[in-house]
Chains A and B, each alone.
Chain A
Amino acid sequence: MADIKLPAGKVDELKEVCKKLGNEGGELINALHAAQELFGYLPAEVQELVANEMNVSVAHVYGVVTFYSFFSMIPKGEHPISICMGTACYVRGAEKVLDEFKRHLDVKVGETTEDGKFSISCLRCVGACGLAPVVTVGEKVYGRVAAEDVKGILEEYK
């Protein structure tokens, strides 16, 4: 097993959650949700830990983690930016907004800036289609975003 450098408190907390789920493989997805909530992402060490606790193989856990887009193996930025790429946002110009974010931050979708401040991801639909195109930064939702608003949004977090 890899050298685990995870904070002990959180490890114990995760073990507790797994125990509550009956340490049973059928509850794996719920356990992974809890783990991502605790650690922010799912690095190899966390996956090994979950595999151990839930009595399934590490390969199985990795298979599940990589299958679902909600699970991430890369730490998100301090201010995670999500651009909704649902159809409603797409036809109202979400792609242009995304291009602007990529250009300003010089990272691709799914990546985090070098200083760890921002990460960009695409969402499938926030369900706030009345506000299309929609961008979320952390918990904050920005509606009717145009390409020229991007600079201003980023300024708020610098």
Chain B
Amino acid sequence: MAKYKNHILVCGGTGCRASQGEEIVQNLGKVLEENSLENEVQVVRTGCFGFCEKGPVVKMVPDNTFYVQVTPEDAPEIVAEHLVKGRKVERLLFTDPETQERVSESKDMGFYKKQIRIALRNCGFINPENIDEYIARDGYAALGKVLTEMTPEEAIKVIIDSGLRGRGGGGFPTGLKWEITRKVEAEQKYVVCNADEGDPGAFMDRSILEGDPHAVLEAMAINGYCTGATKGLIYIRAEYPLAISRLKIAIDQAREYGLLGTGLFGTDYDFDVELRYGAGAFVCGEETSLIHSMEGLRGEPTVKPPFPSESGYKGMPTNVNNVETYANIPVILLEGAEWFSSIGTEKSKGTKVFALAGKVNNVGLIEVPMGTTLREVIFDIGGGIKDGKKFKAVQTGGPSGGCLTEKHLDIPIDYDNLIACGSMMGSGGMIVMDEDDCMVSVAKFYLDFTVEESCGKCAPCRIGNKRLYEMLEKLTEGKGTEEDLTLLRNLSNVIKDTSLCGLGQTSPNPVLSTMENFADEYAAHVHDGKCPAGQCKSLMQYVISDEKCIGCTLCSRVCPVDAITGDKKEPHLISQETCIKCGACYEKCKFGAISIQ
């Protein structure tokens, strides 16, 4: 094996690849060759660094210089300056928005300071397509330890004592689930990894699979040993081609090394993993639906009990855990239950990965200890609201969750606290909204999603959500009545109480939580026919102020439908009949002459 003096780590996550990450890798390789450095410096494609806002990210090892927003054209300068002359490329360093100073190491950035990376420990550190790099970071050591030194009961006890709860949203104690599956007698048992990450705006599972696929395979093998299963299945979204390809490579390498297959670590324990593909159905995140989908059926849920731990895939006991849950397992077994349970709150241990997105300065993937407050996440890590606007709400838990407001900002985040405020942890999507977002529209957006994703099996979810959507539509058109508001609340509660599976039982949450926290906004739509955020098209119009308009003509040039007329240096006018209310003029006007009425 060649020994390299330096490594250049290039983020190979989906986000950075979409911004020419692959071209950066290729250009770096080319320039290194031109400088005859290819035997001294290695370019490594890693998993996601998390700081997607500033991607593509390139990290120099060993000095840990962290370059942001790198382009393929920057490759020659990075090599010539950083590697040859030993000088940092100042212009590619991160600028602290508060102090305006250049920061060269990630540990000094606000975005990373409060994070503890357990599930994401290897993302952005190792090449996910090379099993040796995983092994070098204690990979497969936990599996070896469990197989050769521990009984399944002992290993399960460690997981129970650690307090780890399911990271897919439900928060069920993981060790307990394993114990239940273990106790059921059956000829064949299965362990399943739920990688059907369907929450829009959540991408932590994808990033783990792309950045550290072996961690999931190792944990599944441990899970198999503990529960008595010899077969593992990963149910993954077909929309994640990169994660699929990295998983396939990882499975092949693990088989080659004898870490999957027969007689693992010289014991008589056999375990192997297969992939199953999803096909775009949100409901398949629910375990019983997921199992039906793996069996080649429509992914419709069935009533629990029986739980999959008793009767799941092909009628056999099946233990289903989520990707992030699995990613925690090997570390817990190596470091011990006590270490893990020392992090977090009383009832929620460890860390949680959140996909921070929306109107926040630092969009990205973060991992924080349970008990961190929303304020710390949004303002310290997230760097506050974009364009200096005012924070309005944060949506957690995806389509099943709710919108939290200013008054919830100082609540420590954990499973129970979020539920107590009318939202939930969900898989960890966190969407930040500012003053320009209309909460009635947001509720409608989620209902639109639910209506489309409802499998149609039970009436409350299939019909009820559609009616909720129609009522919300009426509100956003200014045609809602006081009676609609009462009906909206009542119907929401009926759907929650009577739906068959988790999808319907939680789908009215966005409606209920916005009605609770933004009652004024609902009232404004009904009583005043106004949308305070200026988002509902039927309730607003764009108007140019004669006093402020200097006639620069910019607005008329950006208008896609030529609705704006006026001579140079004369005030312009918007034809309300032609205007499609796209807002392009409003965003472009430099003089604040266009307002929403």
- A126 to chain B: which residues have CB within 8 Å? 14, 18, 239
Are A147 and B429 interface neighbours, CB within 8 A? no
Q: Determine, out of B29-37, B99-107, B172-180, B294-302, the stretch whose residues face the partner at the interface.
A: B294-302
Q: Determine, out of B198-206, B218-226, B410-418, B542-550, the stretch whose residues face the partner at the interface.
A: B198-206
Cα(A130)–Cα(B17), bound, Å: 12
A27 lies within 8 A of chain B by Cβ: yes
Between B363, B364, B395, the greatest number of chain A beta carbons within 10 A of the residue's beta carbon is seen for B363
Residues of B228-274 whose CB lies within 8 A of A: 238-240
Are A64 and B364 interface neighbours, CB within 8 A? no
| Tier of interface size on chain B | 35 or more
B336 lies within 8 A of chain A by Cβ: no
Shortest beta-carbon distance from A148 to chain B in Å: 5
Are A30 and B359 interface neighbours, CB within 8 A? no
Are B201 and A129 interface neighbours, CB within 8 A? yes
Residues of B277-320 whose CB lies within 8 A of A: 277-282, 293, 295-299, 314
Are B200 and A128 interface neighbours, CB within 8 A? no
Cα(A142)–Cα(B468), bound, Å: 34
B480 lies within 8 A of chain A by Cβ: no
Are A92 and B279 interface neighbours, CB within 8 A? no
Are A68 and B280 interface neighbours, CB within 8 A? yes
Per-residue interface assignment for chain A, residues 91 to 130, with 1 indicating a CB less than 8 Å from any chain B CB and 0 otherwise: 1100010011001000000000000000000011111111
Shortest beta-carbon distance from B55 to chain A in Å: 6
- B398 to chain A: which residues have CB within 8 Å? 87
Closest to B358 in A: A91
B455 lies within 8 A of chain A by Cβ: yes
Closest to A66 in B: B298
Partner of B431, one of A67, A87, A99: A87
Partner of B239, one of A70, A131, A143: A70
Cα(A146)–Cα(B449), bound, Å: 23
Cα(A71)–Cα(B279), bound, Å: 7
- A92 to chain B: which residues have CB within 8 Å? 358-359
Per-residue interface assignment for chain A, residues 51 to 95, with 1 indicating a CB less than 8 Å from any chain B CB and 0 otherwise: 000101000000110011111000000000000011110111000
Are B15 and A130 interface neighbours, CB within 8 A? yes
A46 lies within 8 A of chain B by Cβ: no
A33 lies within 8 A of chain B by Cβ: yes
Between B279, B280, B445, the greatest number of chain A beta carbons within 10 A of the residue's beta carbon is seen for B279
Shortest beta-carbon distance from B543 to chain A in Å: 19
Are A88 and B358 interface neighbours, CB within 8 A? yes
- A56 to chain B: which residues have CB within 8 Å? 296
Shortest beta-carbon distance from A73 to chain B in Å: 13
Per-residue interface assignment for chain B, residues 418 to 435, with 1 indicating a CB less than 8 Å from any chain A CB and 0 otherwise: 000000000001011100
Residues of B17-74 whose CB lies within 8 A of A: 18-19, 52-53, 55
Are B582 and A100 interface neighbours, CB within 8 A? yes
A32 lies within 8 A of chain B by Cβ: yes
Are A125 and B582 interface neighbours, CB within 8 A? no
Are B55 and A130 interface neighbours, CB within 8 A? yes
Are A87 and B14 interface neighbours, CB within 8 A? no
- B207 to chain A: which residues have CB within 8 Å? 127
Between A33, A87, A123, A130, the greatest number of chain B beta carbons within 10 A of the residue's beta carbon is seen for A130
B333 lies within 8 A of chain A by Cβ: no
B357 lies within 8 A of chain A by Cβ: yes
Given the known interface contacts A87-B398, A88-B363, A128-B18, the answer about A67 and B296 at a Cβ–Cβ threshold of 8 Å is no
Shortest beta-carbon distance from A58 to chain B in Å: 15
Per-residue interface assignment for chain A, residues 127 to 158, with 1 indicating a CB less than 8 Å from any chain B CB and 0 otherwise: 11111101000000101001110110000000
Partner of A143, one of B19, B364, B433, B582: B19
Cα(A93)–Cα(B327), bound, Å: 34
A28 lies within 8 A of chain B by Cβ: yes
Are B277 and A29 interface neighbours, CB within 8 A? yes
- A132 to chain B: which residues have CB within 8 Å? 357-358, 363
- B445 to chain A: which residues have CB within 8 Å? 87, 90
Between B198, B364, B558, B582, the greatest number of chain A beta carbons within 10 A of the residue's beta carbon is seen for B582
- A143 to chain B: which residues have CB within 8 Å? 18-19
Cα(A63)–Cα(B296), bound, Å: 11
Partner of B15, one of A29, A85, A86, A127: A127
Are A125 and B201 interface neighbours, CB within 8 A? yes
Cα(A67)–Cα(B279), bound, Å: 9
B580 lies within 8 A of chain A by Cβ: yes
Are B363 and A130 interface neighbours, CB within 8 A? yes
Cα(A146)–Cα(B207), bound, Å: 26
Partner of A69, one of B281, B359, B363: B281
Cα(A27)–Cα(B239), bound, Å: 19
Shortest beta-carbon distance from B356 to chain A in Å: 8
Cα(A125)–Cα(B296), bound, Å: 24
Shortest beta-carbon distance from A61 to chain B in Å: 10
Per-residue interface assignment for chain A, residues 1 to 44, with 1 indicating a CB less than 8 Å from any chain B CB and 0 otherwise: 00000000000000000000000011111101100000000000
B560 lies within 8 A of chain A by Cβ: yes
Are B296 and A26 interface neighbours, CB within 8 A? yes
Are B276 and A147 interface neighbours, CB within 8 A? no
Shortest beta-carbon distance from A37 to chain B in Å: 10
Are B239 and A129 interface neighbours, CB within 8 A? no
Cα(A103)–Cα(B580), bound, Å: 10
Given the known interface contacts A88-B201, A147-B584, the answer about A129 and B355 at a Cβ–Cβ threshold of 8 Å is yes
Closest to A124 in B: B200
Cα(A145)–Cα(B395), bound, Å: 23
Shortest beta-carbon distance from A139 to chain B in Å: 10
Are A148 and B584 interface neighbours, CB within 8 A? yes
- B201 to chain A: which residues have CB within 8 Å? 86-88, 125, 129
Cα(A87)–Cα(B396), bound, Å: 11
Are A88 and B200 interface neighbours, CB within 8 A? yes
Are B279 and A87 interface neighbours, CB within 8 A? no
- A87 to chain B: which residues have CB within 8 Å? 200-201, 357-358, 395, 398, 429, 431, 445-446
Shortest beta-carbon distance from B16 to chain A in Å: 9
Cα(A106)–Cα(B15), bound, Å: 30
Name B's A-contacting residues (CB within 8 A). Answer: 14-15, 18-19, 52-53, 55, 198-203, 206-207, 238-240, 276-282, 293, 295-299, 314, 355, 357-359, 363-364, 395, 398, 429, 431-433, 437, 442, 445-446, 449, 452, 455, 558, 560, 580, 582-584, 587
Name A's B-contacting residues (CB within 8 A). Answer: 25-30, 32-33, 54, 56, 63-64, 67-71, 85-88, 90-92, 96, 99-100, 103, 123-132, 134, 141, 143, 146-148, 150-151
Cross-chain pairs A/B with CB under 8 angstroms, 24 sampled: A29-B277, A29-B279, A29-B293, A33-B277, A56-B296, A63-B298, A64-B298, A68-B278, A68-B281, A91-B358, A91-B437, A91-B442, A124-B200, A124-B280, A124-B282, A127-B206, A128-B14, A130-B363, A131-B19, A143-B19, A146-B584, A147-B582, A148-B558, A151-B560
